[in-house]
Structure 1
Amino acid sequence: MADNIKIGVIGAGKIGTFHTRTLAKMEGMELVGVCDPDALRAQKLAWEYNCTPYTKYEDLVPLVDAVVVAAPTPLHHEVGMYCLRQGVHTMMEKPIASNMEQAKELIALAKERKVVLQVGHVERFNPAVVEAMKYIKNPKFITINRLGPYDPRMAAVGVVLDLMIHDIDLLLTMIDSKIINIEATGLSVFSSQEDIANVRFTFENGCIADVTASRASFERARYMHLFQEDAYISVDFMNAAVKMYKKEKPVITDLKDITVFYPQVNKQMPITSELLHFKDCILSAGTPAPSGERASMALEIAMQIEEKINRYDLPKAATTGPAMAPKPLKDIVDVARAAKIIVDETLGSIRGKGE
């Protein structure tokens, strides 16, 4: 391989723009081109960052050593399989694919062609997470909240695959124990998928994690709280900050027995750290973090959550009709319809007497 890794970006949307901007100034990376079926969008981004625009990924991939796939999730398998068949190292934005079968095919092909397949769970490269990991030891209880406004570009997938999958990946990284139970609820608000989800994970070692993801909130808020035997750790994902309360004595008799600690966080952009890691894995034939295998674990758990949510999603059942709803929901819809008829008839009777 030449001194510089020739790389292209497939997808010129919001995430693709972030990758393009970062790669354009990264030492050791030569940005060859940007691809998007929208020619104007590809042209605009390519002009801005001094590379060549393409509207077909088949024209870009043969010219590069590596690609970042930032296309919509339904296209991950198609685009990823083509790139891997060409022997091109691939950084696939999360989730790795739309389903487990597709994920397994991508992983198998990457192994066969001996190329790097890294998945873009960028939150694990958040400097606050990197710093907090130094102090996280066998947490007993975790809460994670990832809230933000609705983004129509992600309407094809639910909030679990859109946002919560980051936190699933973090839980798998932080807790060295098997998930033994998942309780999940969710709600569709703006899209045909779930836009709000709340999940409780129970691990074999006794740890419990409550995770909430919403894309129906007015303001962005992304934070994590961890409680362990001797400390409480607060992680602010958005502001890359960590705060820690640590117990200094076995028995607390005074607030002075608790140390408040603010670990120093390296403020490097997570996407920069992620792409540098991708570059290092290419040069050293290393195992990426997360690998395709780890990302497929996160996808499998996310799909289990979606299955639990969809089973009792009342708004979806109401819009698709009682015949399409699970029986408990069909009964609710039928009762509600009957109640409405009774109320309407009663009101009509009252109005008739008044007249």
Structure 2
Amino acid sequence: MMKLKVGVIGCGSIAQHRHLPEYAANEQVELVAVCDIVSERAEEIATKYGVQAYTNYEDLFAHVDAVSVCTPNYLHASITIAALRAGVHVLCEKPMATSKEEAQAMIAAAKESGKKLMIAHNQRFVASHEKARQLIQNGEVGKIYSFRTAFGHPGPEGWSVDGKESWFFQKEKAFLGAMGDLGVHKTDLLRYVLGEEFTEVGAFVETTAKEFADVDDTAVCVLKTESGIIGTLAASWSYRREDNSTIIYGEKALLRIEDDSTYGLIVQYATGETVKYELGKIQTNESGGQRNSLVIEKFVGAILNDEEPAISGEEGMKSLAVILAALESNETKQIVKVTV
């Protein structure tokens, strides 16, 4: 069997904890290259995996079929477009870009090259989230009235390879703070679970906990969908313990998703009946999380089977658009329409 030759660009925490081990464990993949502008880091990771180290990403394109782009946010678009134009498939970390124009350029490059572009929104593949979507789709929850979702933890300094010096806290490299790191995951998740697009956003985006940062560390948004469902989304680097919960309020049932330490999904029906689903642990930055995020598996499968990626560039852009609208709302103090 021909194996897919893969390189990873950017050797920070997300590459070290997710992409590299998952590629290495995938029998359909041959990991051949890593790239990082910090040559010592590139060499160290290359030695660990027995692959070639690069400090210039363009040098590795000739040796791979596909790459993961795990760099700071501001480089996502330029590296992705360069890879696609070089005939290489791309799995890009989230948020896919720092503007709609960048996202559109990435999507166009994928179309022109005929190569796959997938965005690494792993929340969709969590068993409790898939089950919740299924229950909503088959009518068991009835009409959806409202929701609240949160994604928070103590912040990237605890796990980033560069600690407080990490690019996560530098506006020119990250563009967005907790809202781009965590909020975009939750907008993507809600779009997936509810099966609807968001049309309007009102938001407060602040820096309340990380005085050394020049990006947001806490954001709270009110979101409205096309059918009129309203709810809240909180994204924060100021939570002392990780919270990745979602509660959906429906006519026939209430869904508590990742809100209980044992049960990934608890369904409380209007009839009084409660059903608890034990679906395995969600992946977290803390130990004990699900090892395989399934993102690599889905990306590799899309290439080898020549299928549409599970989360296309268009999907990534729709989730990004909600975050961009939230930023605009915070700046203008107005409710902002989401435009893609």
TM-score by length of 1: 0.80
Distance 2:279 2:234 in 1: 25
TM-score by length of 2: 0.84
TM-aligned CA deviation for residue 187 of structure 1:
1.1
Tell me whether 1:133 sits opposite 2:133 in the alignment: yes
Amino acid at match of 1:280: G
Distance 1:114 1:4 in 2: 20
Distance 2:321 2:245 in 1: 24
Say which SS state the counterpart of residue 254 (structure 2) adopts: strand
Task: Give deviations 1:216-243, integer Å, cap 9, x for gaps.
Answer: 2222211111111111111118967111
Q: Which residue of 2 aligns with 1:227?
A: 249
Q: Contact 1:222–1:238 at 8 Å: present in 2 too?
A: no
Tell me whether 1:33 sits opposite 2:11 in the alignment: no
Return closer, same or farther for 1:237/1:295 CA change in 2, 3 Å cut-off.
Answer: farther
Tell me whether 1:42 sits opposite 2:64 in the alignment: no
Q: Which residue of 2 aligns with 1:301?
A: 322
Per residue, is there more helix in 1 or in 2?
Answer: 1
Select the structure with the greater relative contact order (CA < 8 A; seq sep ≥ 6): 2
Return closer, same or farther for 1:299/1:180 CA change in 2, 3 Å cut-off.
Answer: closer
Return closer, same or farther for 1:170/1:42 CA change in 2, 3 Å cut-off.
Answer: same
Task: Give deviations 1:256-287, integer Å, cap 9, x for gaps.
Answer: xx222122425694754111111111012211
Amino acid at match of 2:323: A
Tell me whether 1:244 sits opposite 2:267 in the alignment: yes
TM-aligned CA deviation for residue 50 of structure 1:
2.2
Say which SS state the counterpart of residue 220 (structure 1) adopts: coil
Distance 2:71 2:196 in 1: 33
Alignment map for 1:4-153 (pairs within 5 Å)? 4-17=3-16, 18-137=18-137, 138-151=143-156, 152=164, 153=166
Identity %: 28
Tell me whether 1:282 sits opposite 2:314 in the alignment: no
Q: Contact 1:123–1:270 at 8 Å: present in 2 too?
A: no
Task: Give deviations 1:289-345, integer Å, cap 9, x for gaps.
Answer: 211011111111211111111335xxxxxxxxxxxxxxxxxxxxxxxxxxxxxxxxx
Worse-matched range after superposition: 127-136 or 285-294? 127-136
Q: Contact 1:21–1:49 at 8 Å: present in 2 too?
A: no
Q: Which residue of 2 aligns with 1:215?
A: 237
Amino acid at match of 2:136: I
Q: Which residue of 2 aligns with 1:259?
A: 273
Distance 1:300 1:202 in 2: 14
Distance 1:272 1:194 in 2: 26
Structure 2 alignment gaps of length 5 or more:
138-142, 157-163, 283-289, 334-340
Worse-matched range after superposition: 191-200 or 64-73? 191-200
The structure having more radius of gyration, on CA atoms, is 1
Q: Which residue of 2 aligns with 1:158?
A: 177
Task: Give deviations 1:56-100, integer Å, cap 9, x for gaps.
Answer: 111212100000100111111111111001111100001111111
Structure 1 alignment gaps of length 5 or more:
249-257, 313-355
RMSD in angstroms over aligned alpha carbons?
2.1
Q: Contact 1:125–1:271 at 8 Å: present in 2 too?
A: no
Distance 2:67 2:75 in 1: 14
Q: Contact 2:119–2:312 at 8 Å: present in 1 too?
A: yes
Distance 1:94 1:104 in 2: 15
Distance 2:75 2:308 in 1: 24
Amino acid at match of 1:233: L
Return closer, same or farther for 1:272/1:217 CA change in 2, 3 Å cut-off.
Answer: closer
Distance 2:118 2:178 in 1: 22
